[in-house]
C-alpha cells in the first residue's frame, strides 16, 4: 500500500523538515511526500521517501524551468509524479509528452506515479472508459511505474468518487495496464477507509489532506489497518 502526499505549490523549505520527521510510516504502508522543488533538499535527509512533482524527458539541455531525472536522483529523490491533471490543464501537458517524461524517468532509475482521469463533462457524457483507454494508450507496464486515477472533477473540489466509481475505474485501468493503481481526488480521513478498502485500489495520491500532519497520518494509519 502506497500513500503519497502531493504538496503542489505549498510548504516552503522552512516548513518541510519538521513536517517530514513527524510523519509515521506504519507497517505495510510506504509513505511518500512530493514537495515543490525548493523543498526537496529539506525533505530528503529526514528519511521519508521523497518524490518530485514533475520531471523532464531529457538528461540536460536548454529547457528553462525544467529539472531532469538525473538531477533529482543526484539530490536523493526517488521518484516523480508525471502527467498530473494540473500539468495537463495549465501547462499543455499531453498524453505523449507526459509519457516521454515518464519513460525517461523510469529508464534513469526514478519511480513514477503516472496520473490519468476524466473531467466532469466527460464523465457526464459517459466517456470515462474511452478517456482512460486513450490516456493509457501510450502507457506500458514498467518496473517502478504506478498509475494514479485522479478524476479531474474530484481534485480540489471537495467532491469524491464513490467507492464503486473508484473501483470500476481502477479495475479498467488494471485491465489495460497491469500495474498498481492509486486513487487521487479529495482523499480525506473521513473517506479513506471506504476508498482504500476497494480490491483494485492499491493506495492513494493525497492532495490537500497531505498538508496537515494529523490528517495525513490518519490516512496512513487507515491504510495500515486495512492491509493488516
Q: Tell me whether residue 56 is one of the annotated catalytic residues.
A: no
| 3-state SS record for the chain | CEEEEECCCCCCHHHHHHHHHHCCCCCCCEEEEECCHHHHHHHHHHCCEEEECCCCCCCCCCCCCCCCHHHHHHCCCCEEEECCHHHHHHCCCCHHHHHHHHHHHHHHCCEEEEEECCCHHHHHCCCHHHHHHHHHCCCCCCCCEEEEECCHHHCCCCCCCCHHHHHHHHHHHHHHCCCCEEECCCCCHHHHHHHHCCCCCCEEEECHHHHCHHHHHHHHHHHHHHHC
- CB neighbours (10 Å) of residue 141? 10
Spatial separation of the C-alpha atoms in residues 51 and 6, rounded to whole Å: 9
The tally of domains found in the chain comes to: 1
Identify the pLDDT of residue 120. Answer: 81
Identify the pLDDT of residue 162. Answer: 86
Reported pTM: 0.95
Identify the pLDDT of residue 147. Answer: 98
Pairing of strands 111-116, 145-149: parallel
Identify the pLDDT of residue 157. Answer: 64
Q: Tell me whether residue 58 is one of the annotated catalytic residues.
A: no
Identify the pLDDT of residue 121. Answer: 84
Which pLDDT tens digit goes with each residue over 156-188? 666 677 889 899 999 999 999 999 999 998 899
**pLDDT digits (tens), the chain, 228 positions:** 999 999 999 999 999 999 999 998 999 999 999 999 999 999 999 999 999 999 999 999 999 999 999 999 999 999 999 999 999 999 999 999 999 999 999 999 999 999 999 888 888 888 889 999 999 999 999 999 999 999 887 766 666 778 898 999 999 999 999 999 999 988 999 999 999 999 999 999 999 999 999 999 999 999 999 977
CA atoms 66, 68, 69, 73: torsion sign: negative
Catalytic residue among 42, 56, 84, 118: 84
Catalytic residue among 42, 150, 167, 170: 150
Identify the pLDDT of residue 124. Answer: 82
Domain enclosing residue 28, as ranges: 2-227
CATH number for the domain spanning 86: value is 3.20.20.70
Q: Is there a contact between 176 and 132 (Cβ–Cβ < 8 Å)?
A: yes
Amino acid at each position: 500500500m502506497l500513500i503519497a502526499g502531493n504538496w503542489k505549490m505549498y510548504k516552503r523549505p522552512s516548513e518541510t523538515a519538521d513536517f517530514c520527521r513527524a510523519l509515521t510510516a506504519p507497517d505495510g504502508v510506504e509513505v511518500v511526500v512530493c514537495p515543490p522543488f525548493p523543498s526537496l533538499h529539506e525533505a530528503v535527509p529526514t528519511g521519508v521517501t521523497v518524490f518530485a512533482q514533475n520531471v523532464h524527458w531529457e538528461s540536460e539541455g536548454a529547457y528553462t524551468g525544467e529539472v531532469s531525472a538525473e538531477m533529482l536522483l543526484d539530490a536523493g529523490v526517488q521518484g516523480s509524479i508525471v502527467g498530473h491533471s494540473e500539468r495537463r490543464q495549465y501547462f499543455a501537458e499531453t498524453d505523449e509528452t507526459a509519457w516521454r517524461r515518464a519513460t525517461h524517468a523510469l529508464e534513469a532509475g526514478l519511480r513514477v506515479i503516472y496520473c490519468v482521469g476524466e473531467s466532469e463533462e466527460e464523465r457526464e457524457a459517459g466517456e470515462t472508459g474511452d478517456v482512460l483507454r486513450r490516456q493509457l494508450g501510450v502507457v506500458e507496464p514498467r518496473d517502478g511505474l504506478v498509475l494514479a486515477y485522479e478524476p479531474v472533477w474530484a481534485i480540489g473540489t471537495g467532491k469524491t468518487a464513490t467507492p464503486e466509481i473508484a473501483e470500476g475505474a481502477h479495475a479498467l485501468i488494471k485491465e489495460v495496464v497491469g500495474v498498481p493503481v492509486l486513487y487521487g481526488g479529495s482523499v480525506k480521513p473521513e473517506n479513506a477507509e471506504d476508498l482504500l478498502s476497494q480490491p483494485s485500489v492499491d493506495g492513494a495520491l493525497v492532495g490537500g489532506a497531505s498538508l496537515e500532519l494529523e490528517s495525513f497520518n490518519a490516512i496512513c494509519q487507515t491504510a495500515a489497518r486495512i492491509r493488516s
